Each structure stands twice: as C-alpha cells, then as structure tokens.
Amino acid sequence: MVSRVIPVDEFDLVIFGATGDLARRKILPGLYRRFLAGQMPENARIIGAARSEMDDAGFKTLVREAIDEFVDKSKRDAEQIDSFVSRLAYVPIDATGEGGWDSLKQLVRQDVVQAFYFSVAPSLFGALAERLHSNNIANSLARIVVEKPFGRDLATAKALNATLAEHFHETQIYRIDHYLGKETVQNLMAVRFANILFEPLWNSQYIDHVQITVAETVGVGGRGAYYDRSGAMRDMVQNHLMQLLCLIAMEPPYHFDPNAVRDEKLKVIRALQPVPADDIVRGQYLGHKRSDGTGVPGFVEDAENPTTKTESYIAMKAEIANWRWKGTPFYLRTGKKLRARTSEIAITFKEPPHSIFDAAEGWRENVLVIRLQPNEGMNLKVMIKEPGPGGMRLVQVPLDMSFAEALGEGGTDIPDAYERLIMDVIRGDQTLFMRGDEVEAAWEWADPIINGWETRGDKPQGYDAGTSGPEDALMLMHRDGRRWREIKE
Ligand code: NAP
C-alpha cells in the first residue's frame, strides 16, 4: 500500500532560523521529501531567514548540504534537488532589528497560504510576531508555527501565549509537539475509535494500569547547559508524555475535528491529580573515570555544573480523577543514557473475574503494547494453552503486528513527524498541534510538582548508564505489586 498524498494549496513558507540545527536536520530535508512525494504545488516557495549574511545561492548550497547529510541516499536525485532548490530564497533578518523586513515583504505573496515557522529561541517569538504584523507582511489568515519549549512554567507559557495573541488569533497559531506528528501516535486514535474491540474495555474496570516509557540511549551531550535549565520533566513529561497520556485517556471526541480532539485532551489534563513526592523518582546518569584519567562523563560533567540537581530521568505515578480512570494509575518514565532507545505505551488489563482452570499456572495479564519506536506497531499478549500433552497449562503469546509489515510496501515510506506537521499547517489542520489552554493546563499540573522538589532541594538519585534507571524507580512499581516492562529494543 503506497501512502496517499493529499494535495495542498499554493504557499509561501518563511523559516526563521533557517540556518539552525532544526531547520537543517528536520525542516528543510522534510520539505524536500514532501516535494519528492509530489505534495508541493508548482509555485510553492520556501524563504529562509536568519541573521547570517547570505544570498539565495548561499542558502541553496546550505540546503543541498542538508539534503546530502539528512536525506536517505535512495531519495537524493540531482534533478529533483535542482528543482526543489529553485523554489528557495533567503533574506538576512535579525528578529529584533528593523533591517530586512522590506525585502521579506517583497517576497511574501498575499494571495497564497502564508506560513511563518519560528525555528528560533522562544525569546524571539514576540519580536517576530510583532514585526510580521507591523510590517504588514502576515495577512489575517497567516499561520505561525512555534517550536518547543513553550515556556518553562505556567507564568512564562501564559506570557508567551499573550504575546502571540497580540498579533495572531489562536486559529493561526500552531504549537509543534513533534510527538503528535508520529504515525503511531495518530494511530492511537484510530485504534481506539475506529474499532469496537477496545473501547468497551477502556476503563478502570478492565485496565489495571498503563505504562508510558520514552527511553533514550544518548546523554545530553553538547546540550548540557541548556538541558540543565530544563530537565526530563520540562523537556519530556510536560509535553510529549502528557500528549501520549491524553490520547490514551481522553473520551471519544464527537468528531475528528481539531477543537473537539483538543477539548477532550484538555479535560484529561484538568483531571490529573497533584503528584505527591513519594510517587516521583528522579535520577541523573553517572559517569566513570578510569585510572588512566580517561572515562565517560556523567550528567554532572555534561551539564558542566557540579551542584546540578536537574534530572536526566524521571518516573512517576499519575492519577486521573474521572469516572473512566479512577483507580487506574498511569506510570510514566523517561530518561537519557538508558539501556535501549524505545518508546512505548503498555496497557495492562486486569485478571478475569474467575479462573475456570484449577491451577492457573503460567497465567499472565493481557497486555496491549503500542510501540512508537523502533519498529512502530502493536502487540497484544494473550493466553493460550501450552501445546502438548501436559494438561491445561497456560502460556502467553503475542499477537504481533509491525505497521510497516502490515501495510506492505509504502508502510515504511511514511512521512517523518515534521514533514507531516508542516503539511498540516499548510492545510490549516490544527488537530495535531497543542492549543494555548492545553499547554497552560499542562504547566498548571507540572508547576507544583517541580516547585515541590525545588523547594525541598531534592537531589536526583544516580544511575549507571546503560541500565533501566535508578533503583528507586523499581520500588515505585513494586510497592503497588506491579513491575515495569523491560526496556529493550
Ligand atoms: P540553533 O541551531 O541555535 O539555530 C537558531 C537559528 O536562529 C539559527 O538559524 C540562527 O541563525 C537564528 N537566529 C538566532 N538569533 C536570531 C535573531 N536574533 N534573529 C533571527 N534569527 C536568529 O537552534 P535550533 O536547534 O535549530 O532550534 C530552533 C528552535 O527549535 C528552538 O526554539 C529550539 O528550542 C527548538 N527545537 C529544536 C530542536 C532540535 O532538534 N534542534 C528540537 C526541538 C525543538 P543566525 O545565527 O544566523 O541568526
């Protein structure tokens, strides 16, 4: 099955921060892949902007290099790349200065879809919004795309929302959480709401608990100083894990419509309970030094801050106080330098009400695992009889489905999250973008948790690189008579 390409209207896309890491690694290669897929209209144009002095030719060279580095060799076709870069232009602009805006105005058409991607530090969002407006560049339907982090607490998120709202209506603002652009994440909604099978069981009567894991093998590397001001809670839980939790926990929206979906997600966030200190475990990966002076840096060294109390790992038990979920905990964990790179959601069902087998030997709970990476797919663990003459012994077997295999050729050719989301912006579809009130509600939940450990001065527990995280995280589950799933690829 080859993935269907939905045509989009003619557009001008301006990328502020076009020389930066995100633009070079994700946005520009992604746009090239969409061009290859035939999704870019004939006269669509992409305009790069940043402070660096450069002409169009210089920018085209930069984009060619980005394609060389970040697009799979099988998709690098000289003729196609020539055609793609012919749509590019560049304007040197300082977001906080007055130069360059006239040139941008000359380039951006008023009678096509306008999209402005703010791939710059959030401290510049306000300046960009203000100048796009005061220079009469953005029309009343223009869309702006803003990157994470969206604030570092409720106050900063509110301030950012207020700044953007001065010049753009909520329907024009696209807050990116690239997790929502992942195919499997969208599949969560399809699995839940396009099948009758799961929904009747989708509540605390039948579900014992949910585990959401996002594990990385890399450390914070060169981003240590940035990460030290953020930590796993701000960087991952408040946004990405929260979005996954919402998609699992939300009520069926009345329609697959941006505001209907986001209304339901918001209700989940509002029903999230405060998390007591005992239900949180924070960790920092440890380094080690060899006798010859060489070694591997730990988080403290990567952050270049010997007294840092920032977490590179967090596990917590979250509870949703509503009719559907009361009594079913959601265990969340995410961290760096863990055993394997994997993201998954595991839904563990309860025991059958009565066992008809004398000895329930071998019995295990049903578990539905939705894998986000690697090898996106679903796996449902069910009980069957162990083959052979040994009587009625039970054994758990997986009903396993890899989306790529199930969808055949083309299943592997699904657009990357950024590609998908940028095309949604052009189409004007906000379903997979966070609304302002959603982001604020998520901070409203996260703030007291963060303030709690900051006020107490809690220090994260050390954990060895390549493990499953701090020892105490195991206890978080053990004391509830449960255990984490193994972190493995
Ligand atoms: P980056 O590599 O530091 O790039 C920043 C870009 O902004 C550069 O093109 C820079 O070019 C431009 N810039 C800086 N100051 C400017 C100014 N005053 N006026 C106009 N342009 C200016 O950062 P990045 O990693 O690409 O990140 C961009 C945004 O995406 C940030 O909000 C970040 O948090 C977010 N993000 C990034 C990633 C990622 O993987 N990189 C992931 C998630 C979110 P000049 O120096 O030439 O001006």
Q: What pLDDT is stored for residue 375 in this prediction? A: 81
Predicted local confidence at residue 360, as pLDDT:
62
Mean pLDDT of 55-68: 97
Containing H/E element for 286? strand 280-286
User: Which tens digits make up the pLDDT trace of 265-314?
Assistant: 999 999 999 999 999 999 999 998 777 777 889 999 999 999 999 999 99
The reply to whether ligand 1 has any atom less than 6 angstroms from the CB of 121 is yes
> Tokens 């002076």 — which residue?
293
Per-residue pLDDT, averaged over 322-350, amounts to 97
**Strand ranges in 80-204 using DSSP code E only, listed in sequence order:** 88-92, 113-118, 143-146, 173-175
148 lines ligand 1 (CB under 6 A): yes
Neighbours of 474 (CB within 10 A): 15
Q: Using the predicted structure, report yes or no on whether residue 408 has a pLDDT greater than 70.
A: no
For ligand 1, mutation pick of 119, 156, 236 (most atoms within 8 Å of CB): 119
Which of 21, 104, 120 has most ligand 1 atoms within 8 Å of its beta carbon, as the pocket-test mutant?
120
Binned at pLDDT 50, 70 and 90, residue 416 comes out as: confident
Length of the chain: 489
pLDDT greater than 80 at residue 316? yes
- Residue 20 beta carbon below 6 angstroms from any ligand 1 atom: yes
pLDDT greater than 90 at residue 159: yes
Question: So what's the pLDDT on residue 325?
Answer: 98
What does the pLDDT read at residue 410? 53
What does the pLDDT read at residue 290? Answer: 77
pLDDT at residue number 185: 85
Lowest mean pLDDT among 184-188, 203-207, 419-423, 453-457: 184-188
- Give the strand pairing for 113-118 and 143-146: parallel
Write the CB contacts of 21 (distance below 8 Å, at least 6 apart in sequence): none
From CA 375, how far away is CA 111, in angstroms rounded? 42
Average model confidence (pLDDT) across the chain: 93
Backbone angles phi, psi at 180, to 5 degrees: -70, -15
Task: Report pTM.
Answer: 0.93
Question: Which pLDDT value is given to residue 369?
Answer: 95
Beta strand 367-373 with 342-349 is: antiparallel
395: pLDDT confidence band, cut at 50, 70 and 90?
confident
Q: Which of 117-121, 454-458, 485-489 has the lowest mean pLDDT?
A: 485-489
Answer whether residue 55 shows pLDDT above 70: yes
Task: Give me the pLDDT at residue 171, please.
Answer: 97
Ligand 1 in contact with 235 (CB < 6 A)? no
Residue with more model confidence, 188 or 293: 188
pLDDT, residue 4, reads 63
Known active-site residue 240: yes
Average pLDDT over residues 99-116: 96
pLDDT score at 19 = 97
Between the CA of 124 and the centroid of ligand 1 the distance, in Å, is 10
Query: Residue 119 C-alpha to ligand 1 middle, in angstroms?
Result: 5
Q: Among 167, 240, 354, 478, which one carries the catalytic annotation? A: 240
Q: Is 124 in the pocket of ligand 1 (CB under 6 A)?
A: yes
Distance 117 CA to ligand 1 centre (A): 11
Indicate if the pLDDT at residue 413 is higher than 70. no
